[in-house]
Amino acid sequence: MRSDALVRYPSFRPHVLVVALALAASAAYAAPVAEVYTLAQQQQQPLLDTLRDLVHIESGSKDIEGLTKIAALVADRFKQLGGQVQVLQPSDVYRMDDTPEKVGPMVQAEFKGKGTRKIMMIAHMDTVYLRGMLKDQPFRIDGERAYGLGISDDKQGVAAIIHTVAMLQKLQFKDYGTLTVLINGDEEISSPGARSTITRVAADQDVVLSFEGGGTDGSLRLATSGIGAAYLTVEGKSSHAGAKPEDGVNALYELSHQLLQMKDLSKPENGLKLNWTVAQIGTNRNVIPALAKAQADARALKVSDFTALQTALQDKVKNKLLPDARVQVKFEVRRPPLEATAASRSVAKLGQAIYEELGLPMKVLDVATGGGTDAAFAALQTKGGVVEGMGLSGYGAHSNNAEYVQINTIVPRLYLATRMVMDLSQGKAK
């Protein structure tokens, strides 16, 4: 171990610190902090036990009973770790086309330290699966993989946060100002109930670490695409298509006009995409259609692009082909883009340095390649760094029989998360 290792964290109990592991192949790297690494090894089996407990509670995004049950388990675990814990029922719900009448709860836990830095960790406890599917995908271990319903997306993230906090408690490390945890139950339906809370709580944080899975290679992500949806509705007037078509207002004609004049709103060279993908028109061959609807998928790399797109859509519908037609357009921001910042790059660079202590490479992806994340809601109003992908490596999210996490990533990821909290608490990433 380097000679300064004993003074890296003055709150450590030096008599507990053991000799660091030697990394013969990585002589240029700092050695891992031995006490942290040893604890990470000791937490591997408890984390797997936690994963088993989480997987065995079915918690689909619209399964309020299951979400209430898993929220109680998660809340109890953080209470046992000494946190100030609340189970929050969403009150400010952003209603989208598929938002259920009732949205699942969130668990918020706060741990107070003696420092000044505010650090937040987020994950979600809901899944895409329906009640009854657990019997076909129970928790099981096969070699270096742990399988289970929702294990990769994102019950591993919940478990990783629980055991990162447990490690910090065992280390008696409290150099942070506050350590805040927020676990929501509606991520898979675009977080209609949690988004405002995530944004509000994250606003004054110095760092936000999001524990979605690290893919198959453990990469950290600083940018993701935003996901939006547009809904176009045209109300016309029906009439007999053969005898009196002139008495009608053809909603199909107006819808076609609107779609054609919106085809140039996409700017793929800038990452802004608007593609009309679904349409519902007409009832009978011989009836002028009185109602026509269409839906579009939208993607963006910048928050400002979605704002501009919404304005452009509203302007376009004012130009009608048929004056008597009624045209309405609604735009949903299902997830804003997550944009890389100097602050997030600094946090990710720290993560790379910590992984080097284990002799492990780490990619940092700062160009959006798709998908969406709750981390984007956290980034909307904060000046702190926001990093996604802190969770375990795995594969098979949203599949019906092959979702797993890689067991051999538990120790490195726990070491990474714990060390990042420690270093960030002491201002080692600006």
pLDDT at 21: 41
Q: Which domain CATH number covers 285? A: 3.30.70.360
- As a whole number of angstroms, the distance between CA 321 and CA 21 comes to 74
**Per residue in 100-113, is it b (16+ CB within 10 Å) or e — as a string?**
eeebbbbbbbbbeb
- As a whole number of angstroms, the distance between CA 294 and CA 12 comes to 60
356 flagged as catalytic: no
Same structural domain for residues 213 and 234? no
pLDDT at 18: 36
pLDDT at 331: 97
> Are 355 and 414 a contacting pair, CB within 8 Å?
no
> For residue 142, is it within any domain?
yes
Q: Which domain CATH number covers 212? A: 3.40.630.10
> For residue 399, is it within any domain?
yes
Residue 59's nearest CA partner among 69, 48, 49 is: 69
Same structural domain for residues 217 and 239? no
- As a whole number of angstroms, the distance between CA 60 and CA 382 comes to 30
Same structural domain for residues 168 and 295? no
Taking the chain (430 residues) in consecutive chunks of 10 residues, what is each chunk's mean pLDDT? 41 40 42 93 98 98 98 98 98 95 98 98 97 92 96 97 98 98 98 98 98 93 96 98 97 98 93 96 97 97 95 97 98 96 97 96 89 94 97 87 93 98 89
**Structural domain of residue 375, as residue ranges?**
5-224+338-425
- As a whole number of angstroms, the distance between CA 216 and CA 285 comes to 52
Same structural domain for residues 45 and 22? yes
**Which of 277, 312, 335 is at the close of a domain?**
335
Catalytic residue among 35, 58, 187, 403: 187
Q: What is the SS3 string spanning the chain?
A: CCCCHHHCCCCCCCCCCCCCCCCHHHCCCCCCCHHHHHHHHHHHHHHHHHHHHHHCCCCECCCHHHHHHHHHHHHHHHHHCCCEEEEECCCCCCCCCCCCCCCCCEEEEEEECCCCCEEEEEEECCECCCCCHHHHCCCEEECCEEECCCHHHHHHHHHHHHHHHHHHHHCCCCCCCEEEEEEECCHHHCCCCCHHHHHHHHCCCCEEEECCCCCCCCCEECCECEEEEEEEEEECECCECCCCHHHCECHHHHHHHHHHHCCCCCEHHHCEEEEEEEEEECCCCCECCCEEEEEEEEEECCHHHHHHHHHHHHHHCCCCCCCCCEEEEEEEEEECCECCCHHHHHHHHHHHHHHHCCCCCCCEECCCCCCCCCHHHHHCCCCCEEEECCCCCEECCCCCCCCEEEHHHHHHHHHHHHHHHHHHHCCCCC
187 flagged as catalytic: yes
Looking at the structure of the chain, the number of domains it has is: 2
**Which of 319, 335, 351 is at the close of a domain?**
335
Catalytic residue among 35, 58, 63, 126: 126
Name the CA dihedral angle for 392, 398, 403, 404, rounded to a multiple of 10 degrees. Answer: 0
Same structural domain for residues 36 and 142? yes
Same structural domain for residues 201 and 314? no
- As a whole number of angstroms, the distance between CA 211 and CA 409 comes to 13
> For residue 325, is it within any domain?
yes
pLDDT per residue as tens digits for the range 253-266: 999 999 999 999 99
Same structural domain for residues 180 and 220? yes
> For residue 430, is it within any domain?
no
Same structural domain for residues 81 and 139? yes
**Which of 273, 303, 335 is at the close of a domain?**
335
pLDDT at 19: 34
Q: Is 362 exposed, middle or buried (0-12, 13-18, 19+ CB in 10 A)?
A: buried
> Are 131 and 63 a contacting pair, CB within 8 Å?
yes
